[in-house]
Structure 1
Amino acid sequence: MKNLILFIGVLFCSQLGYSQVFSNNDLSITQLEKGIWVVETSDNTTMYIIEGDKKAMLIDVGTKCKDLDKVVKKITDKPLEVVLTHFHPDHAGNIAYFDTVYMHEGDTALIRMLKIPYNGEIEYVLDGDEIDLGNRKIEVIHTPGHTPGSIVLLDTKTSSCFTGDAFGSGQVWLQLEPHSSIDTYIRSCKIMLAKMNSEGITKIYCGHYPYVKTAFDKSYLTDMQNLAEGLKNGTAPEARPYEVKVSIGSQNPMIATLGQASIVFDPEHLK
């Protein structure tokens, strides 16, 4: 059965023009376009590799992938910058394989809360920073909501952005601690949509690619903003209880859906 599932996945990717370049028991790596690879793990976490002329970037590090540093070297031998979109374990769990990681300082509270073992250096990026990979500059956009330090990484060379969980993978979680207000999230949606318009970004590569197997477009962000505004002003479609419970979030979350977008939220922390 496992081999059949793998075959179907490879066939699906080949039909889309994608090319799987590596796999093991922990993960598979597929080239999405020139200089961009998606790393999909056995527990549905996601990383991306971007390669420039001089350096490469690993976006997020997944949870439990053995020898991740060596695996990345099978794709690129260029010096590697490791950037976390936020500090949840499914995006930061493998940081021990790397001497230095970059993230936004807004998530320092999560470093203390989650206590992921790490003896390396954590460097902080700011909104508007650019990381030069050589003929390819990746811009940092601060988009708080899912976490206080969530960031999006813009690659104008391919009209792409890499959003982690800032806008979810079909649904975004806003019920987690530390909580952000719905106003904060609405501002992040507006910032992201403005950047997509001004920088010609057409592809949104989300933080859990195995669930969607494609890039979202701007209409997804528009649905997210409209839903968030509806939750704020009371015009959103009726919410229902959300059954998934997590240790650092509300124990009575609700979920509302509009178009392509769903938001999981704590009714007591919407304001």
Structure 2
Amino acid sequence: MKIQVIPVTPFAQNCSFIWDEKSATGALVDPGGDLDKIRAAVDAKGVNITQIILTHGHLDHVGATVAAAEFYQCPIIGPHKDDEFWLQMLPQQSQMFGFPPAHAFTPQHYLEEGDNIQLGEITLQVIHCPGHTPGHVVLFDPASKQLIVGDVLFAGSIGRTDFPRGNSEQLISSIRNKLFTLGDDVVVYPGHGPTTTIGAEKHSNPFVADHRFG
């Protein structure tokens, strides 16, 4: 799986443009805004976008979703249904954060733990990782050992849990019991900031490193 990280919105949210080289089939993960910038990256690679995939329902991750789906004439997939309330609150979110007006929408398909998403010859595994939001999902490609985690895990940090229905115990459990079991060499693509690895976060992340848990 090929990945190009495209920072968008005033929050520098990482939209992940992913594609299968053999079929030139691609997807946009968390197109939060700046659709022109995203389209330019897609055009440069000559990739056919066949789906929009969402990790969770926060505005900086979904702000350009409807426009992108309309432009590429493709379905919106995810997040988990437990984030439906965030998608329905998009008008309030846009007012709260000073973003352009955003309308509520409903994806064509919500995702569940254990679902697989096919992208050309790539099979992405869906892992439900609640805590930052109740319906947050992450996407794992075991073949290339790449993991798109949204706002669950960052380089040296973890997602906030002070938003409605956030839960710090759930978040730590999601990271340690689900993500940390995938392998130290797995490359992690967070929703903000630089790329990291599972091994690096297990060793030194001050919130979830192994040494904190004996």
Q: TM-score with structure 2 length normalisation?
A: 0.76
Closer, same or farther in 2 for the Cα pair 1:157/1:205, shift >3 Å? same
Give the aligned partner of residue 86 of structure 2: 110
Deviations 1:211-254 (A, max 9, x none): x3x33332314633349x77xxxxxxxxxxxxxxxxxxxxxxxx
Query: Distance between the aligned counterparts of 2:47 and 2:200, measured in 1?
Result: 36
Percent identity of equivalent pairs: 24
**Aligned pair partner of 2:162 in 166, 175, 185:** 175
> CA RMSD of the aligned region, Å?
2.7
Gaps of 5+ in 1: 1-33, 231-271
Deviations 1:108-147 (A, max 9, x none): 1112223331567442111111111122111111100111
Query: Distance between the aligned counterparts of 2:26 and 2:35, measured in 1?
Result: 19
Give the aligned partner of residue 161 of structure 1: 147
Task: Give the Å deviation of 1:162.
Answer: 0.6
Give the aligned partner of residue 38 of structure 1: 5
SS at match of 2:154: coil
Confirm or deny that 1:220 pairs with 2:201.
yes
Give the aligned partner of residue 48 of structure 2: 78
Closer, same or farther in 2 for the Cα pair 1:84/1:121, shift >3 Å? closer
SS at match of 1:58: strand
Give the aligned partner of residue 51 of structure 1: 19
Give the aligned partner of residue 30 of structure 2: 60
In our comparison, the structure showing a higher alpha carbon Rg is 1
SS at match of 2:180: helix
Closer, same or farther in 2 for the Cα pair 1:183/1:149, shift >3 Å? same
Give the aligned partner of residue 23 of structure 1: none
User: Which letter does structure 1 place at the counterpart of 2:161?
Assistant: L
Alignment of structure 1 residues 87-98 onto 2, 5 Å:
87-97=57-67, 98=69
Task: Give the Å deviation of 1:170.
Answer: 3.5
Confirm or deny that 1:191 pairs with 2:178.
yes
Note if contact 1:84-1:92 (Cα within 8 Å) is conserved in structure 2.
yes
Point out the more displaced range, 56-65 or 132-141: 56-65
Give the aligned partner of residue 204 of structure 1: 188
Task: Give the Å deviation of 1:183.
Answer: 2.8
Task: Give the Å deviation of 1:203.
Answer: 0.7
User: Which letter does structure 1 place at the counterpart of 2:160?
Assistant: W
User: Which letter does structure 1 place at the counterpart of 2:86?
Assistant: L
Point out the more displaced range, 50-59 or 125-134: 50-59
Task: Give the Å deviation of 1:169.
Answer: 4.7
Confirm or deny that 1:141 pairs with 2:127.
yes
Gaps of 5+ in 2: 92-101
Query: Distance between the aligned counterparts of 1:63 and 1:128, measured in 2?
Result: 29
Q: TM-score with structure 1 length normalisation?
A: 0.61
Note if contact 1:160-1:205 (Cα within 8 Å) is conserved in structure 2.
yes
User: Which letter does structure 1 place at the counterpart of 2:152?
Assistant: A
